[in-house]
């Protein structure tokens, strides 16, 4: 079985390794490529190993793509998928493994008859270089059909060396991840702080709780179940357990890259507007992060 992975960031590279370990052939699709195969080093604590995926760009891709994992940033999904559409056939399987929401509907419109799954992971990994991945934790990954009439996992995913949980309804899972991201990511980006520093400053903690209250109001109006405990308790627990982490949104801002804010807080605010629910705290955070992104000036690594 051959899996193509669109998006060779930390999560895409991690899945390339996991699929390779399960005995499958893997091609990483990058924006640019100097070689057709490369060695990627995966470090996990004191242990390490290498794997050797094929490397393609959309321009060098040939033949059909039967199994496609999309791990790009949410805002790049539609444009990145466009040149691959001619390679997808009637039986192709497509999995979206990304932060944020809104891109799922866009891909479903592009691929109305394909088998389509959405996935959410708590795995932690970061890339030192394109050829060196640091694995922090495998966590667990939940996968469910988006608009496919199937109770099966994507082909080969039962053999992955990481916990995979099948979900009949993946949308609540995605909303829970979105809710936590709304609470943590914009605040860390704006305050240029690690996750745990949201808890040690009373003003930041108060703002986090206000964000959570607005998110819960929108989720409740949509009859979307979040957590048994209040959202702010869940968000604070995540910030505490990842206290030393830099959120992906903060890293994007530091590097002058476009953030996923439109598919996180932006998605929430669009849902709230549709429901005539006022979310002033989240709207303000959305605009502030937009302003930082539009400045396109890297922030100092404080």
Q: What is the number of other CB atoms lying within 10 angstroms of the CB of residue 27?
A: 20
Do 76 and 30 touch, CB atoms closer than 8 A?
no
Cα dihedral 300, 127, 158, 48, rounded to 10, equals -140
**Residue 296: active-site member:** no
- Separation of alpha carbons 129 and 47, rounded Å: 18
- Separation of alpha carbons 276 and 264, rounded Å: 18
Structure tokens at 85: 């559409």
DSSP 75: G
Do 136 and 124 touch, CB atoms closer than 8 A?
yes
Bridge partners (DSSP) listed for residue 95: 69, 117
Bridge partners (DSSP) listed for residue 121: 141
Structure tokens at 131: 């050829």
- Separation of alpha carbons 21 and 13, rounded Å: 12
Q: How many CA atoms lie within 13 A of 17 on its CB side?
A: 25
Measured in whole angstroms, how far is the alpha carbon of residue 1 from the centre of its chain? 24
Q: Is 235 helix (H, G, I), strand (E, B) or coil?
A: helix
Of the listed 56, 73, 114, 177, which one is catalytic?
A: 177
User: Annotated catalytic sites, by residue?
Assistant: 177
């Amino acid at each position: 079985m051959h899996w193509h992975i669109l998006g060779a960031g930390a999560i895409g590279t991690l899945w390339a390794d996991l699929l390779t370990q399960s005995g499958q052939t893997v091609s990483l699709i990058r924006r640019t490529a100097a070689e057709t195969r490369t060695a990627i080093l995966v470090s996990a604590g004191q242990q390490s190993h290498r794997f050797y995926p094929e490397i393609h760009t959309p321009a060098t891709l040939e033949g059909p793509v039967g199994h496609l994992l999309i791990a790009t940033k949410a805002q790049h999904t539609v444009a990145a998928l466009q040149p691959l559409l001619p390679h997808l056939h009637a039986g192709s399987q497509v999995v979206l493994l990304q932060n944020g929401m809104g891109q799922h509907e866009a891909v479903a419109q592009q691929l109305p008859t394909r088998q389509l799954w959405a996935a959410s992971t708590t795995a932690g990994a970061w890339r030192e270089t394109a050829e060196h991945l640091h694995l922090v934790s495998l966590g667990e990954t939940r996968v469910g059909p988006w608009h496919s009439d199937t109770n099966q996992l994507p082909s080969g995913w039962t053999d992955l060396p990481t916990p995979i949980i099948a979900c009949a309804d993946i949308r609540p899972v995605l909303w829970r991840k979105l809710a936590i991201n709304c609470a943590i990511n914009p605040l860390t980006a704006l305050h240029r702080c690690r996750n745990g520093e949201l808890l040690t400053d009373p003003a930041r903690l108060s703002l986090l709780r206000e964000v959570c209250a607005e998110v819960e109001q929108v989720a409740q109006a949509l009859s979307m179940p979040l957590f048994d405990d209040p959202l702010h308790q869940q968000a604070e627990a995540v910030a505490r357990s990842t206290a030393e982490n830099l959120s992906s949104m903060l890293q994007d801002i530091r590097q002058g890259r476009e953030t996923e804010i439109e598919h996180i807080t932006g998605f929430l605010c669009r849902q709230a507007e549709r429901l005539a629910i006022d979310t002033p705290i989240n709207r303000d955070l959305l605009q502030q992060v937009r302003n930082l992104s539009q400045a396109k000036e890297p922030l100092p690594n404080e």
